[in-house]
Each structure stands twice: as structure tokens, then as C-alpha cells.
Structure 1
Amino acid sequence: MKKYILVTGTTSGLGLAIAKAFLEENFIVFGTGRRIELLEELQNGYRESFIPLCFDIQDKNATQQAINKIFSTTKQLDCLINNAGLALGLEKAFECDLSDWETMVETNINGLLRITRLVLPSMVKNDAGTIINIGSIAGTYPYLGGNVYGASKAFVKQFSLNLRADLIGTKIRVSNIEPGLCSETDFSLVRFKGNREKAKAVYENKTTLKPQDIANIVLWIYKQPLHVNINSVEIMPINQTFSQLVVK
């Protein structure tokens, strides 16, 4: 029996690695993203196993249309992986661009909420499904300039826990993965708005997580026995630890 997985943000980084991990295990993967050429490149590698959905999760109508397409293909979505998200800027709260804050809230919070709300009723009806949200250690540990990005990931953390509370009595599982420093993604390039030198400096001479590390954990969570719910996983590279308190 075919299993259907929805992964948001599959054009690069974590989403791409997660999508490939499930495709290699012969799942049918719906992958979202804004860059059609990258979605088509992935589709060319996996043919009918990968179904591209090109839209921006900030767009309500486009999101609804994409979900409609999914449920015209299958009546049961086995797993939703909310990966799409971004950070913009690293300025202090009183120096940042307000539009950057609004974009992060619209993507990291509202986009995740829309897709989850549109998918969830079918999972409840089928009394089956797994939701895996990609959070961040920034949702637990504050850092200079993290402000709204960290707050948005704290929202993802708390929303995941509250989903679990609402879904008591069902067989639907909810997990939140909180990665630390991870290279080989577009995260810092987007944060610094295309400045490759600044993005490169974030990871230079550092041991980091890789997208495949996160993809392995996502797949492991999904493959657990159906009575097992992994509430959260916090993961850092070996040379990263908790921020020390600062006094000035």
C-alpha cells in the first residue's frame, strides 16, 4: 500500500534531504517550494514518486489549491513535515526591518498553521497520521539578534505540544525537531539576503550538523511503532552548547 508524505520547503537544505530520504524508501512525496526549476529537478530524479507543488505558503489561496491537489490524488496523507521557514536579519529588535519580522511570522507561524489546519481533519477522519514540525534550538535558547525568529520557533514548539494535547484519543502523532547549527542549507544566505561572505562565515572552521543528519532523525521518528510518539528531539553538533548568561 502506497504511503503519502507532504514535505514543505523541499527546494534546498533540510527539506530536500528529508524528501530524498523518504523517496529512497519508496514513499510518494508531495514537495512544496517557490522555485519550480528545483522542484522539477527533484521530480526528474524520482519521476512519479515525487509530486511538485509550486507555491508560496504565505499565499492562502495557493495553499488551499495545493492541498486540494493532494486530496484529489489520495484520501490519506500519512505524514506532514512542516519544514518551510526562514530567518531574516540579525539586527537587534530596535534596529531591524519591521517587514522582516512580518515575513518570518507569516512564513514560520501562519504558513505552518494553514497547512496543518487543512491537513489535520483528514488525519482525524482516518485516525492515522504523523506531523513532524521542524523547529530550532532558537525556540529555547535566545541569542543576540534572534528576536522574532526565535519567538517563531518557540511558537512551533508550543504549538506542537498543544496539538498533542488536542489529539489525545486519536492515533495521530506529533513531533518537534529542534536543530542547532546546520550547514549546507540556504538558511544563512537567506538571513543575510544573499551576502555569501557573511553566510559562509557562520560555518567557517566549525563542525556543523548536515541536512542528512536531520533527515535521518525525521525518518527514524516516522518509522517508530505506531504507539510511540517522540515529543521532541533537540540536536546540536558536538562543538555547540548552551549560551552562557551575559552580564554587562
Structure 2
Amino acid sequence: MATDIPHVDFKSVASSAAQNELIDRVNSHDADIITNSSDISALDSRVTTAEGGINTNSSDIGGLDTRVTSLEATSHPIRTQATDTELYGDIVNSHRRGDCYHSEVLSNGFMTAFACISPKTFTANELRLCVTGAGSSPGTFDIGFYKGSSLSNLVQQFTSFGSELVDTTGMLILPFDSGISVSEGDYIAVEMIATNWGTSPEFSSTPTGPNAQLLMNDTPYSVYEGSRSYPLDDPIDFTATTWSLSNQSYWFALA
């Protein structure tokens, strides 16, 4: 790189030698500018090449993103057992079927309500319970399905009644009049009551145990109230102080 051009007093007259030196130095700077222009042109070419590579890689990244998204949508965690959805068609259930081998009586005059949270959004077409002990010397039986965004305000969506619903053992399937929309995060619940039975019906539930309600109902998901009769509540407030906490929870499913 040429050195800086020396200062010349504008009032003085430069010698021919000084003029020639100035011209040489200007020419030298011109040469540097031409050289730098060549370097700049080379850099521009390299940047253009790099940009082309980035564009190519962007296309590759986009393709990989699509493939990863597809894999995430179709992949399943490693497991050794089928779900209740795969085995029985339960879309959502309050507990796994295998955890509800206990048979719990629905005693006369006990309004009983039990709830869970839906882990998915779907349309429910039927309510399922399992009658493990048939009622005899028939009385009354009423059952309802509820949903809502808060345990303190679950609104009735469907009801059914009749002693014939629980006078034989097996799955109790109650089709809804029309599909009921359930959103992920909704509280879903069942309330039921039996009155005046000689032998009250029994249903599948979680096992009972001493003080089990302390674990199960830290949030009140399974409650009851004695000395009640139909009609069912609408809405239900699971947090009301009139309820007692159950030491088990009946099984139910939606499909």
C-alpha cells in the first residue's frame, strides 16, 4: 500500500521532481484501488456462492422438517400393552379398566358423583359403566352425564333412568341422543342414585382402603351424600360442603 501523499504549501511552486513524485504516488493509489476492487469482486463472488449454498440448505432443512413432523405424528412410545382405546374402544375413561376390578355397591339413598379430566378433544356418543352386581327387588335408578370447565359447575348433558338398567350384570351402554362435544381439559362426570332396592346394584370401581379418600380426593373427584333421592343435581358443585369424600371411585368411559 502506498504511503500518504505529503503536504505541499499551496502558495509555493512545486518542483518538477515534486510533481513527478505526486503523480507517482497518485498512480500508486490508483493501482491499490484497482487491486482492492479485484478483491472486492472476488469476495462478492464468494458471498454469492455462499448464499446459493444457504438457499440449498434451506430447502434441505425444510424437507427434513417435513419428515420429522411426519415421524412425530405417526410414532408411538415403546410399550408392551395395548390401551383401553385399542382393546375396548374407550375414547376416554376415568381409570384403566384393569385398575377397577373392585365391585362397589350403590347403596340406597346415596347421591354419588365421580369425575375426571378429559385428556383430548372429541365427540362422545355413549356413556359406559360396568354393572358387577345386579339389583333385585327393584327400586329406582337414575344416572346423568355432566361436563364443564370447573368442578364447581358441571352442567348436565344427558340423563337416563329405570330399574332395567341395573337388573343384570355386564356393560351398561347408554347412547346419547346426539353427539356431545368434549374438549381437552374439560371436567367430565357422572352422577347416579338408587332408591328402594332390596339388593342394591354394584359397579366396577377402584379398590377401597383405609383413608383412601385422603389420596384420591385431595381434589374432590369422587363424592357422595346420604339421605337423598332423585332428581339428579343440575349443575353439580363437587366442592360443596354437603358432599362427603369417597374412598373409591366408580369406573366410567366415553366412546
TM range (shorter): under 0.3
TM-score (norm 2): 0.25
Relative to total residues, which structure has the larger helix share, 1 or 2?
1
Of the two, which has the highest radius of gyration? 2
Query: Counting strand residues as a fraction of each chain, which structure ranks higher?
Result: 2
